[in-house]
Structure 1
Amino acid sequence: MIKPSVLLFALLISAPAWYRLLLDEVDLVQVLIRFLIAVPIAAVLLGGVRFILAGYRKADEEPGSAVTPEPYEGKTP
């Protein structure tokens, strides 16, 4: 299934074509073809960004590695 962020990014990529449609410089069919071409390009670009950012996510800690706080007994010399 295509994520909404991919469709929004594809719409952003094809925005100049949509603007030219408003000015009657291109046909609707050409604009839709450009949008359909932009969808896989946007999916690949956003997939690359997700892949790069996945390395920066905090790794899940092991269940036994949690540090438990202990009361501090202040010893004064």
Structure 2
Amino acid sequence: MIKPSVLLFALLMSAPAWYRLLGDEVDLIQVLIRFLIAVPIAAVLLAGLRFVTSGYRKADEEPPGTAMVPEPYDRPEPGKSS
């Protein structure tokens, strides 16, 4: 199923052709072909954007409001190896 965001982005990508249709510079068939070509291109571009930004989403397994508890760290004395 094609997402509405893909169709909207494809419509924006083919907007110059739709504008030229209003001025009778191109045929409706050419505008629809340009829109149909823009749909898979928009789907690939938005899928790439979703893939890149998916890492910034919060983890689902972490319940909201979980507090971070600091753990003590034993610093070794200078000049001594552990």
TM more than 0.5: yes
User: Is residue 2:43 matched to residue 1:26?
Assistant: no
Distance in 2 separating the partners of 1:38 and 1:61: 37
Residue 41 of structure 1 aligns with an amino acid whose one-letter code is I
Partner in structure 2 of residue 10 of structure 1: 10
CA RMSD of aligned residues (A): 1.4
User: Is residue 2:72 matched to residue 1:58?
Assistant: no
How many residues are paired up? 65
Partner in structure 2 of residue 48 of structure 1: 48
Higher helix share: 1
| Distance verdict in 2 for CA 1:14–1:60, change over 3 Å | same
Which runs of at least 4 in structure 1 moved beyond 4 Å after TM superposition? none
Partner in structure 2 of residue 73 of structure 1: none
Unaligned 5+ runs, structure 2: 68-82
**How far 1:62 sits from its partner (Å)?**
5.3
TM-score by length of 2: 0.74
Unaligned 5+ runs, structure 1: 68-77
Partner in structure 1 of residue 36 of structure 2: 36
Distance in 2 separating the partners of 1:37 and 1:60: 36
- Residue identity (%): 85
